[in-house]
Structure 1
Amino acid sequence: MRALRLTAWGEPPALTEVERPMPRGAEVLVQVEAAGLCRSDLHVLEAPAGALPYRPPFTLGHEVAGRVASLGPDADGVAVGERVVLYGPWGCGGCDRCTTGWDNYCDRRDTLAWHGLGLGRDGGMAGHVLVPSARHLVPIGDLPADQAAPLSDAALTSYHAVAGLRHLLGEGTTVLVIGVGGLGHLAVQLLSAITPSRILAVDVREEALALAHRSGAHVVTLSRADTDRVLRAESGGSGVDAVLDFVGGPESMELAVGLLRAGGELAVVGSGGGHLTVRKPGLLPPGFRLSLPYWGTRPELAEVVALASSGAIRVETERFPLSAAPEALDRLREGRVRGRVVLVPD
């Protein structure tokens, strides 16, 4: 089968022919129907040798949906032919976190040579993908594969971040979303679906603001010199109750901290290299709380699939055949993607 693989650090990914794996023990072989492309893939491809614990070569792709093709002799809980989405953050499988579906916060994460599917272990940018256990599979029924695949990261990560802020987002509250791309547009939809909060959105691109508006944001604005003033006015002058920062850069964090009201929380999801100085007393608002959500839990993925199946959320996608992966990567790198890129085996 053909697969998009990182063969060596510093080298571009290569479409190569590899042998189709055979499931053993509790393993499950899934025929890939769609695989999402994420900025995390760019971070992996652009990482210098030694920055990550992964050992090339391996196949990329951590957002994957497909159909169960075959089972190892000890596999259970899933049937051949069943359509599934793959839970991507594979942990050690044995610690308390992993056994309760919290692989994203695996206690042994720092000792592993991988962070999950397509992140040190062979992923889904291929015809088939081998999954170590059926516990990593969530049924999707007849949900289209190009909708299901991005649920496993773009929607799951957003849902996990929003869930951590729900206690703050009751009636009469305001929340700000910074960065309305593959994750941000789903965060807006999730906020609209599961909270009564008023949603503000900011981005540097007009097309992203149009996407935010379609996704349910009440107010959208470009990032510019007067953004702080504009958004503060839209929040009634007192600031916002919570911020979801899908950029994570110096400017976005500065904007977030400047707009948060006392007792507010900042969830930094993006990895844009920003940082905060924590000092008391200091410039952070009184009662300030910070969270650094990473991916999401397996039970949360099932909740996300249910929301997508009900029509509460829909992923804005651009489809490419797997053979066009280099072009898709270039478009993502240059910021010319609307929503989420999905690769389909060809």
Structure 2
Amino acid sequence: MRAVRMTAWQGEPEILDIPVPEPGPGQALVKVAGAGVCHSDLHIMEWPEGLLQYELPFTLGHEVTGWIERTGPGVRGWGEGEAVAVYGAWGCGRCHRCVQGMENYCEQTSAIKSSGGGLGLDGGMAEYMLVPSSRFLVPLGDLDPRTAAPLTDAGLTSYHAIKRSLHRLVPGSAALVIGVGGLGHMAVELLKALSPATVIAVDTAAGKRDLAKRLGADHVLTGGQDTALQVRDLTGGRGAELVLDFVGGQQTLALAAACASSLGEVAIVGMAGDELPVGVGRLPFECSVSVLYWGSRPELMEVIALAQQRRITPQVETFPLEQAPEVYRRLREGRLTGRAVLLPHG
């Protein structure tokens, strides 16, 4: 089968032929319908060797949906051809957090270790994907798996970041979305679906600002030296109760701090890896800062339910698997709007 493989650090992915895996006890083989192309893949590929404890090569793709092809011994309740989403954070399954479904914060793994398909282990940018446990499968129901892949990361991560701060998003409050890319556009949709907050979106790209407007953002800003003042003006000087930074760069983190309200929260989701100084005078009083990673398995089920109710819809652009290197180049250059999804089977 064809697969998009990471074969070297700080190198481009390669499309190679590898054997179709056979599911063992408790495992499932998924025929991949769609695999989302995520900016975090670029960060992983660009990091120097030794920073992550990933063994090369491995197949990229941690945002995956498809159909059950076949299951291994001991797997029950899943039928051949059933449409499924793959929960991407693969924890130990035994610790306190994993038992609660929070495998994204497994006590036995960390961000530097192989932690899921496409993250050090073989992922879904291939014709077939071996899922090591059926507990990582979530039924999609009537959703089209060719376009639902972004729900498993872009949707789930944004949902987790917003859900934990819903108590802040009361009538009259504001939420700021910095970066309207694959995750940020889903955040705009989710904020409009789940809260009464005024939604302010910031992006330097005109196409992404237009997307934010179409998805219901109340205010859309270009991003520049006066952006923080604009946000303050739009919020009556108060600032935003929730600031979601989907970039995590030096400039966006500085903007997030400048726009946050007292008793608010800055949620750092983007993986650019820059730093936000924290201390008296750096942030408003009682403003929390969190660094988030994905979401839980129960939360993925909630995201899928919202999509089934047509309250959120990922904005996708689809490509054949063979175009993966070009799609990554376009992502790096900021020439994608919404989420790019690879279709291994068309």
- Equivalent AA in structure 2 for residue 343 of structure 1: L
The residue that corresponds to 1:12 in the other structure is 12
Distance (Å, rounded) in 1 between the aligned partners of 2:340 and 2:67: 20
Secondary structure at the aligned position of 1:284 is classed as coil
- Equivalent AA in structure 1 for residue 34 of structure 2: A
The residue that corresponds to 1:118 in the other structure is 118
CA contact (8 A) 1:77 1:134 kept: no
CA deviation after TM superposition for structure 1 residue 147, in Å: 2.6
Distance (Å, rounded) in 1 between the aligned partners of 2:128 and 2:78: 17
The residue that corresponds to 2:316 in the other structure is 317
Distance (Å, rounded) in 2 between the aligned partners of 1:46 and 1:52: 11
Question: Are 2:282 and 1:272 aligned?
Answer: no
What is the 5 A alignment of 1:42-57? 42-57=42-57
| Percent sequence identity over aligned pairs | 50
CA deviation after TM superposition for structure 1 residue 43, in Å: 1.4
Distance (Å, rounded) in 2 between the aligned partners of 1:189 and 1:113: 32
CA contact (8 A) 2:179 2:202 kept: yes
CA contact (8 A) 1:55 1:113 kept: no
Assess, with a 3 A threshold, how the Cα gap between structure 1 residues 113 and 267 changes in structure 2: closer, same or farther.
closer
The residue that corresponds to 1:150 in the other structure is 150
CA deviation after TM superposition for structure 1 residue 12, in Å: 2.0
What is the 5 A alignment of 1:241-260? 241-260=241-260
Question: Are 2:130 and 1:130 aligned?
Answer: yes
Question: Are 2:306 and 1:304 aligned?
Answer: no
Distance (Å, rounded) in 1 between the aligned partners of 2:16 and 2:224: 44
Structure 2 unmatched ranges of 5 or more: none
Secondary structure at the aligned position of 1:109 is classed as coil
Question: Are 2:221 and 1:206 aligned?
Answer: no
CA deviation after TM superposition for structure 1 residue 112, in Å: 8.0
CA deviation after TM superposition for structure 1 residue 7, in Å: 2.0
Structure 1 unmatched ranges of 5 or more: none
The residue that corresponds to 2:218 in the other structure is 218
The residue that corresponds to 1:169 in the other structure is 169
CA deviation after TM superposition for structure 1 residue 10, in Å: 3.4
Secondary structure at the aligned position of 1:32 is classed as strand
Alignment RMSD (CA, Å): 1.4
CA contact (8 A) 2:315 2:339 kept: yes
CA deviation after TM superposition for structure 1 residue 53, in Å: 0.8
The residue that corresponds to 2:327 in the other structure is 328
Distance (Å, rounded) in 2 between the aligned partners of 1:254 and 1:152: 29
- Equivalent AA in structure 2 for residue 310 of structure 1: Q
Q: Which moved more, 1:268-277 or 1:26-35?
A: 268-277
Count matched residues: 345
CA deviation after TM superposition for structure 1 residue 111, in Å: 9.6
CA contact (8 A) 1:147 1:314 kept: no
- Equivalent AA in structure 2 for residue 333 of structure 1: R
Q: Which moved more, 1:153-162 or 1:48-57?
A: 48-57
CA contact (8 A) 2:204 2:223 kept: yes
CA deviation after TM superposition for structure 1 residue 35, in Å: 0.5
CA deviation after TM superposition for structure 1 residue 148, in Å: 1.3
CA deviation after TM superposition for structure 1 residue 170, in Å: 0.9
The residue that corresponds to 2:183 in the other structure is 183
C-alpha deviations, 1:124-170, integer Å up to 9, x for none?
A: 01110001111100100221123311100000000000011111001
C-alpha deviations, 1:56-93, integer Å up to 9, x for none?
A: 11111001110001110111232222110100011122
TM-score for the superposition, normalised by structure 2: 0.97
Secondary structure at the aligned position of 1:110 is classed as coil
CA contact (8 A) 1:160 1:300 kept: yes
CA contact (8 A) 1:177 1:202 kept: yes
The residue that corresponds to 1:340 in the other structure is 339
The residue that corresponds to 1:289 in the other structure is 288
CA contact (8 A) 2:43 2:271 kept: no
CA deviation after TM superposition for structure 1 residue 110, in Å: 3.3
CA deviation after TM superposition for structure 1 residue 272, in Å: 2.3
CA deviation after TM superposition for structure 1 residue 34, in Å: 0.8
Distance (Å, rounded) in 1 between the aligned partners of 2:93 and 2:261: 40
CA contact (8 A) 1:245 1:270 kept: yes
- Equivalent AA in structure 2 for residue 337 of structure 1: L
C-alpha deviations, 1:29-69, integer Å up to 9, x for none?
A: 11011110001111122122111111011111001110001
CA deviation after TM superposition for structure 1 residue 117, in Å: 1.2
Distance (Å, rounded) in 1 between the aligned partners of 2:73 and 2:60: 27
What is the 5 A alignment of 1:1-150? 1-110=1-110, 113-150=113-150
TM-score for the superposition, normalised by structure 1: 0.97
CA deviation after TM superposition for structure 1 residue 113, in Å: 4.0
